[in-house]
Structure 1
Amino acid sequence: MAAEGVRVEGDWSRLFETLRDLNLSKSELRMLNAQIAQIVAEGSKERFETERSPEGEPWEPLSPATLIARARRRTRRKDGSSGYRTKRGKVSKRAERIVANGKPLKDTGRLMRSIATKATSEGAAIGTNLVQAAIQQLGGKAGRGKKVEIPARPFLGVSSSEEADIMELIQEFIRERVQ
Protein backbone atom coordinates (compact mmCIF):
# COMPACT_ATOMS: atom_id res chain seq x y z
CA MET A 1 0.00 0.00 0.00
CA ALA A 2 1.19 3.51 -0.69
CA ALA A 3 2.08 5.71 2.25
CA GLU A 4 -0.63 8.20 2.99
CA GLY A 5 0.35 11.71 4.09
CA VAL A 6 -1.51 14.05 6.36
CA ARG A 7 -2.26 17.55 5.19
CA VAL A 8 -2.93 20.25 7.77
CA GLU A 9 -5.46 22.63 6.30
CA GLY A 10 -6.51 26.14 7.18
CA ASP A 11 -4.85 29.55 6.95
CA TRP A 12 -1.29 28.60 7.80
CA SER A 13 0.26 30.63 4.99
CA ARG A 14 1.01 33.69 7.18
CA LEU A 15 2.66 31.50 9.81
CA PHE A 16 4.84 29.76 7.23
CA GLU A 17 5.77 33.11 5.60
CA THR A 18 6.81 34.45 8.99
CA LEU A 19 8.88 31.32 9.68
CA ARG A 20 10.63 31.76 6.31
CA ASP A 21 11.28 35.45 7.01
CA LEU A 22 12.95 34.64 10.36
CA ASN A 23 15.86 32.88 8.59
CA LEU A 24 15.94 30.15 11.21
CA SER A 25 18.83 27.73 11.53
CA LYS A 26 18.38 24.09 10.60
CA SER A 27 18.65 23.12 14.27
CA GLU A 28 15.85 25.55 15.23
CA LEU A 29 13.61 24.14 12.49
CA ARG A 30 14.47 20.57 13.52
CA MET A 31 13.55 21.43 17.13
CA LEU A 32 10.21 22.93 16.05
CA ASN A 33 9.42 19.94 13.84
CA ALA A 34 10.32 17.55 16.68
CA GLN A 35 7.83 19.33 18.95
CA ILE A 36 5.14 19.17 16.26
CA ALA A 37 5.85 15.46 15.74
CA GLN A 38 5.54 14.86 19.48
CA ILE A 39 2.09 16.49 19.58
CA VAL A 40 0.87 14.28 16.72
CA ALA A 41 2.46 11.11 18.15
CA GLU A 42 0.90 11.66 21.57
CA GLY A 43 -2.49 12.23 19.93
CA SER A 44 -2.08 9.02 17.94
CA LYS A 45 -1.30 7.09 21.13
CA GLU A 46 -4.32 8.63 22.91
CA ARG A 47 -6.57 7.25 20.16
CA PHE A 48 -5.85 3.74 21.43
CA GLU A 49 -7.58 4.78 24.69
CA THR A 50 -10.46 6.74 23.15
CA GLU A 51 -10.91 4.24 20.27
CA ARG A 52 -11.67 7.09 17.89
CA SER A 53 -10.19 8.30 14.61
CA PRO A 54 -8.47 11.69 14.35
CA GLU A 55 -11.83 13.04 13.13
CA GLY A 56 -13.54 11.71 16.28
CA GLU A 57 -15.32 8.79 14.60
CA PRO A 58 -15.57 5.68 16.83
CA TRP A 59 -13.67 2.59 15.73
CA GLU A 60 -15.62 -0.49 14.71
CA PRO A 61 -15.76 -3.03 17.58
CA LEU A 62 -13.98 -6.35 17.17
CA SER A 63 -15.98 -9.15 15.59
CA PRO A 64 -17.05 -12.08 17.80
CA ALA A 65 -14.74 -14.38 15.80
CA THR A 66 -11.76 -12.12 16.51
CA LEU A 67 -12.60 -11.97 20.21
CA ILE A 68 -12.87 -15.77 20.44
CA ALA A 69 -9.60 -16.25 18.52
CA ARG A 70 -7.88 -13.79 20.87
CA ALA A 71 -9.26 -15.62 23.93
CA ARG A 72 -8.14 -18.99 22.58
CA ARG A 73 -4.65 -17.67 21.91
CA ARG A 74 -4.29 -15.93 25.27
CA THR A 75 -5.57 -18.86 27.35
CA ARG A 76 -3.14 -21.38 25.86
CA ARG A 77 -1.31 -23.19 28.67
CA LYS A 78 2.47 -23.67 28.88
CA ASP A 79 2.10 -27.32 27.88
CA GLY A 80 0.32 -26.20 24.68
CA SER A 81 -3.16 -27.32 25.73
CA SER A 82 -6.12 -24.98 25.53
CA GLY A 83 -7.37 -23.14 28.58
CA TYR A 84 -10.31 -21.75 26.66
CA ARG A 85 -12.72 -24.36 28.03
CA THR A 86 -12.90 -25.98 31.44
CA LYS A 87 -12.83 -29.76 31.92
CA ARG A 88 -16.62 -29.65 31.93
CA GLY A 89 -16.72 -28.00 28.51
CA LYS A 90 -17.72 -24.51 29.63
CA VAL A 91 -15.85 -21.42 28.51
CA SER A 92 -13.33 -20.57 31.23
CA LYS A 93 -13.73 -17.41 33.33
CA ARG A 94 -10.44 -16.08 31.98
CA ALA A 95 -11.60 -16.56 28.38
CA GLU A 96 -14.89 -14.84 29.24
CA ARG A 97 -12.98 -11.83 30.63
CA ILE A 98 -10.78 -11.64 27.54
CA VAL A 99 -13.83 -11.67 25.26
CA ALA A 100 -15.72 -9.14 27.40
CA ASN A 101 -12.78 -6.72 27.64
CA GLY A 102 -11.48 -7.07 24.07
CA LYS A 103 -10.51 -3.71 22.63
CA PRO A 104 -9.55 -3.00 19.02
CA LEU A 105 -5.79 -2.59 18.39
CA LYS A 106 -4.95 -3.24 22.05
CA ASP A 107 -4.31 -6.99 22.23
CA THR A 108 -0.59 -6.74 23.02
CA GLY A 109 -0.01 -2.98 22.89
CA ARG A 110 2.76 -3.50 20.35
CA LEU A 111 1.16 -1.32 17.68
CA MET A 112 0.77 1.66 20.00
CA ARG A 113 4.33 1.27 21.32
CA SER A 114 5.68 1.17 17.76
CA ILE A 115 4.58 4.73 16.95
CA ALA A 116 7.72 6.73 16.35
CA THR A 117 8.70 10.18 15.13
CA LYS A 118 11.45 11.58 12.96
CA ALA A 119 12.13 15.29 12.63
CA THR A 120 14.45 17.16 10.29
CA SER A 121 14.74 20.81 9.34
CA GLU A 122 12.49 20.00 6.37
CA GLY A 123 9.56 18.45 8.27
CA ALA A 124 8.41 15.67 10.55
CA ALA A 125 7.19 12.10 10.10
CA ILE A 126 5.04 10.07 12.46
CA GLY A 127 4.40 6.39 11.83
CA THR A 128 5.13 2.79 12.63
CA ASN A 129 7.27 0.09 11.05
CA LEU A 130 4.79 -2.72 11.75
CA VAL A 131 3.36 -4.39 8.66
CA GLN A 132 -0.11 -4.79 10.18
CA ALA A 133 -0.40 -1.04 10.83
CA ALA A 134 -1.48 -0.31 7.25
CA ILE A 135 -4.45 -2.71 7.30
CA GLN A 136 -5.56 -1.32 10.68
CA GLN A 137 -5.20 2.31 9.56
CA LEU A 138 -6.80 1.92 6.12
CA GLY A 139 -8.89 -1.28 6.39
CA GLY A 140 -9.16 -3.90 3.68
CA LYS A 141 -9.08 -7.62 2.99
CA ALA A 142 -6.83 -9.84 5.13
CA GLY A 143 -6.38 -13.41 6.31
CA ARG A 144 -6.03 -16.60 4.32
CA GLY A 145 -7.26 -15.98 0.83
CA LYS A 146 -8.03 -12.35 1.75
CA LYS A 147 -11.52 -13.40 2.84
CA VAL A 148 -11.76 -11.29 6.00
CA GLU A 149 -12.74 -7.63 5.75
CA ILE A 150 -10.88 -5.56 8.35
CA PRO A 151 -12.58 -2.20 9.02
CA ALA A 152 -10.39 0.90 9.02
CA ARG A 153 -9.44 2.00 12.52
CA PRO A 154 -7.38 5.14 11.86
CA PHE A 155 -4.96 5.95 14.65
CA LEU A 156 -2.46 8.11 12.74
CA GLY A 157 -3.43 11.62 11.72
CA VAL A 158 -4.03 15.08 13.11
CA SER A 159 -7.16 15.89 15.10
CA SER A 160 -8.59 19.41 15.28
CA SER A 161 -7.33 19.82 18.86
CA GLU A 162 -3.84 18.70 17.81
CA GLU A 163 -4.01 21.15 14.91
CA ALA A 164 -4.86 23.93 17.38
CA ASP A 165 -1.95 22.86 19.63
CA ILE A 166 0.41 22.93 16.64
CA MET A 167 -0.82 26.38 15.64
CA GLU A 168 -0.28 27.62 19.20
CA LEU A 169 3.20 26.06 19.32
CA ILE A 170 4.24 27.75 16.06
CA GLN A 171 2.83 31.11 17.16
CA GLU A 172 4.74 30.89 20.47
CA PHE A 173 7.89 29.81 18.62
CA ILE A 174 7.61 32.89 16.37
CA ARG A 175 6.85 35.24 19.30
CA GLU A 176 10.00 34.08 21.13
CA ARG A 177 12.15 34.86 18.08
CA VAL A 178 10.57 38.18 17.09
CA GLN A 179 10.95 39.89 20.47
Structure 2
Amino acid sequence: MIQIRLDTDGAIRSLAQTATNLQQGKKLYGVLGEALRTIHKQRFEKEQASPEGEKWQPLSPKYRARKKRNADKVLIKDGYLKDLLRYQTNDKGVVFGSDRKYARLHQFGSNKASGRGSGVPARPWLGVSKKNEDYLLAKTEHFIRRIISQS
Protein backbone atom coordinates (compact mmCIF):
# COMPACT_ATOMS: atom_id res chain seq x y z
CA MET A 1 0.00 0.00 0.00
CA ILE A 2 1.29 3.47 -0.92
CA GLN A 3 0.61 6.30 1.46
CA ILE A 4 0.82 9.98 0.67
CA ARG A 5 0.87 12.39 3.52
CA LEU A 6 0.43 16.10 2.97
CA ASP A 7 1.63 18.62 5.50
CA THR A 8 -0.49 21.66 4.79
CA ASP A 9 0.75 23.48 7.88
CA GLY A 10 4.20 24.00 6.32
CA ALA A 11 2.70 25.13 3.02
CA ILE A 12 0.37 27.56 4.77
CA ARG A 13 3.25 29.02 6.80
CA SER A 14 5.32 29.40 3.63
CA LEU A 15 2.47 31.10 1.75
CA ALA A 16 1.80 33.40 4.70
CA GLN A 17 5.48 34.39 4.83
CA THR A 18 5.50 35.03 1.06
CA ALA A 19 2.38 37.19 1.35
CA THR A 20 3.93 39.16 4.22
CA ASN A 21 7.13 39.73 2.25
CA LEU A 22 5.22 40.85 -0.83
CA GLN A 23 3.23 43.36 1.23
CA GLN A 24 6.43 45.04 2.38
CA GLY A 25 7.11 46.89 -0.84
CA LYS A 26 9.86 49.16 0.46
CA LYS A 27 12.56 46.62 -0.44
CA LEU A 28 11.22 46.25 -3.98
CA TYR A 29 10.99 50.02 -4.40
CA GLY A 30 14.58 50.33 -3.19
CA VAL A 31 15.64 47.94 -5.96
CA LEU A 32 13.66 49.98 -8.48
CA GLY A 33 15.14 53.24 -7.17
CA GLU A 34 18.65 51.92 -7.77
CA ALA A 35 17.61 50.72 -11.23
CA LEU A 36 16.24 54.20 -12.02
CA ARG A 37 19.52 55.74 -10.89
CA THR A 38 21.43 53.40 -13.24
CA ILE A 39 19.10 54.18 -16.15
CA HIS A 40 19.46 57.93 -15.70
CA LYS A 41 23.24 57.91 -15.17
CA GLN A 42 23.59 55.98 -18.43
CA ARG A 43 21.38 58.56 -20.12
CA PHE A 44 23.77 61.32 -19.05
CA GLU A 45 27.02 59.46 -19.70
CA LYS A 46 26.32 57.54 -22.90
CA GLU A 47 23.02 58.34 -24.57
CA GLN A 48 22.83 62.14 -24.17
CA ALA A 49 19.17 61.83 -25.17
CA SER A 50 15.65 62.07 -23.81
CA PRO A 51 13.83 58.97 -22.56
CA GLU A 52 12.25 58.77 -26.02
CA GLY A 53 15.71 58.65 -27.61
CA GLU A 54 15.76 62.19 -29.02
CA LYS A 55 19.29 63.60 -28.82
CA TRP A 56 19.61 66.63 -26.59
CA GLN A 57 20.16 69.90 -28.38
CA PRO A 58 23.91 70.56 -28.58
CA LEU A 59 25.53 73.29 -26.53
CA SER A 60 25.72 76.68 -28.14
CA PRO A 61 29.15 77.31 -29.69
CA LYS A 62 29.61 80.30 -27.38
CA TYR A 63 28.93 78.28 -24.21
CA ARG A 64 30.94 75.31 -25.42
CA ALA A 65 33.97 77.55 -26.04
CA ARG A 66 33.99 78.78 -22.44
CA LYS A 67 33.06 75.45 -20.83
CA LYS A 68 36.25 74.08 -19.30
CA ARG A 69 35.19 70.60 -18.13
CA ASN A 70 33.22 68.05 -20.12
CA ALA A 71 33.00 70.43 -23.09
CA ASP A 72 31.74 67.60 -25.30
CA LYS A 73 28.92 66.61 -22.91
CA VAL A 74 25.48 68.18 -22.69
CA LEU A 75 24.06 68.56 -19.15
CA ILE A 76 27.37 67.58 -17.57
CA LYS A 77 29.62 70.32 -16.30
CA ASP A 78 30.77 69.18 -12.87
CA GLY A 79 28.47 66.13 -12.86
CA TYR A 80 26.26 67.26 -9.99
CA LEU A 81 22.94 66.64 -11.76
CA LYS A 82 23.79 63.08 -12.82
CA ASP A 83 25.69 62.24 -9.63
CA LEU A 84 23.11 63.60 -7.19
CA LEU A 85 20.05 61.71 -8.42
CA ARG A 86 17.92 60.71 -5.45
CA TYR A 87 15.02 58.46 -4.60
CA GLN A 88 12.78 57.95 -1.61
CA THR A 89 10.82 54.79 -0.91
CA ASN A 90 8.03 53.60 1.31
CA ASP A 91 5.76 50.54 1.17
CA LYS A 92 3.63 52.16 -1.55
CA GLY A 93 6.16 53.42 -4.08
CA VAL A 94 9.33 55.22 -5.06
CA VAL A 95 9.84 58.91 -5.85
CA PHE A 96 12.83 59.61 -8.09
CA GLY A 97 14.47 62.81 -9.26
CA SER A 98 16.92 65.53 -8.34
CA ASP A 99 16.88 68.30 -5.76
CA ARG A 100 19.21 70.47 -7.86
CA LYS A 101 17.59 73.84 -8.56
CA TYR A 102 18.49 73.66 -12.24
CA ALA A 103 17.10 70.13 -12.80
CA ARG A 104 13.68 71.49 -13.74
CA LEU A 105 15.21 74.16 -15.98
CA HIS A 106 17.05 71.53 -18.02
CA GLN A 107 14.02 69.21 -18.15
CA PHE A 108 11.57 71.84 -19.43
CA GLY A 109 13.83 74.62 -20.72
CA SER A 110 13.32 78.34 -20.43
CA ASN A 111 12.79 81.15 -22.89
CA LYS A 112 13.71 83.67 -20.21
CA ALA A 113 16.94 85.44 -21.09
CA SER A 114 19.61 85.25 -18.42
CA GLY A 115 21.59 88.12 -19.84
CA ARG A 116 24.00 85.77 -21.63
CA GLY A 117 21.70 84.27 -24.22
CA SER A 118 18.12 83.64 -25.12
CA GLY A 119 17.30 80.99 -22.56
CA VAL A 120 17.89 77.29 -22.15
CA PRO A 121 16.42 74.69 -24.52
CA ALA A 122 14.46 71.81 -23.01
CA ARG A 123 16.61 68.72 -22.69
CA PRO A 124 14.35 66.12 -21.07
CA TRP A 125 16.46 63.83 -18.93
CA LEU A 126 13.92 62.50 -16.43
CA GLY A 127 11.57 59.68 -17.38
CA VAL A 128 11.54 56.13 -18.66
CA SER A 129 11.35 54.67 -22.14
CA LYS A 130 9.58 51.45 -23.13
CA LYS A 131 12.96 49.69 -22.89
CA ASN A 132 13.43 51.14 -19.39
CA GLU A 133 9.92 49.98 -18.40
CA ASP A 134 10.77 46.47 -19.57
CA TYR A 135 13.98 46.55 -17.51
CA LEU A 136 12.09 47.73 -14.40
CA LEU A 137 9.46 45.03 -14.93
CA ALA A 138 12.19 42.38 -15.23
CA LYS A 139 13.73 43.66 -11.98
CA THR A 140 10.31 43.40 -10.30
CA GLU A 141 9.73 39.86 -11.59
CA HIS A 142 13.18 38.78 -10.40
CA PHE A 143 12.51 40.29 -6.97
CA ILE A 144 9.17 38.48 -6.64
CA ARG A 145 10.64 35.16 -7.80
CA ARG A 146 13.42 35.52 -5.23
CA ILE A 147 10.91 36.12 -2.43
CA ILE A 148 8.83 33.11 -3.49
CA SER A 149 11.88 30.84 -3.69
CA GLN A 150 13.03 31.93 -0.21
CA SER A 151 9.67 31.16 1.40
TM over 0.5, shorter chain: yes
- Which residue of 2 is the match for residue 43 of structure 1? 39
Q: Is the 8 A contact 1:39 1:162 kept in 2?
A: no
Root-mean-square deviation (CA), in Å? 2.6
Q: How does 1:1-179 map to 2 (within 5 A)?
A: 22=19, 24=21, 28-49=24-45, 50-70=47-67, 74=68, 101-144=71-114, 148-178=118-148
What are structure 2's unaligned runs of at least 5 residues? 1-18
Higher relative contact order (CA 8 A, sep 6+): 1
- Which residue of 1 is the match for residue 14 of structure 2? none
- Cα distance between partner residues in 1 of 2:114 and 2:146: 56
TM-score of the aligned structures, taking structure 2 as reference length: 0.74
Q: Is the 8 A contact 1:45 1:155 kept in 2?
A: no
- Cα distance between partner residues in 2 of 1:117 and 1:133: 14
- Deviation of 1:178 after TM superposition, in Å, equals 4.5
Q: CA-to-partner distance for each residue in 1:106-153, whole Å, 9 max, x for gaps?
A: 111111111111111111011111111111111122443696231111
- Which residue of 2 is the match for residue 5 of structure 1? none
| Closer/same/farther in 2, CA of residues 29 and 108 from structure 1, 3 Å limit | same
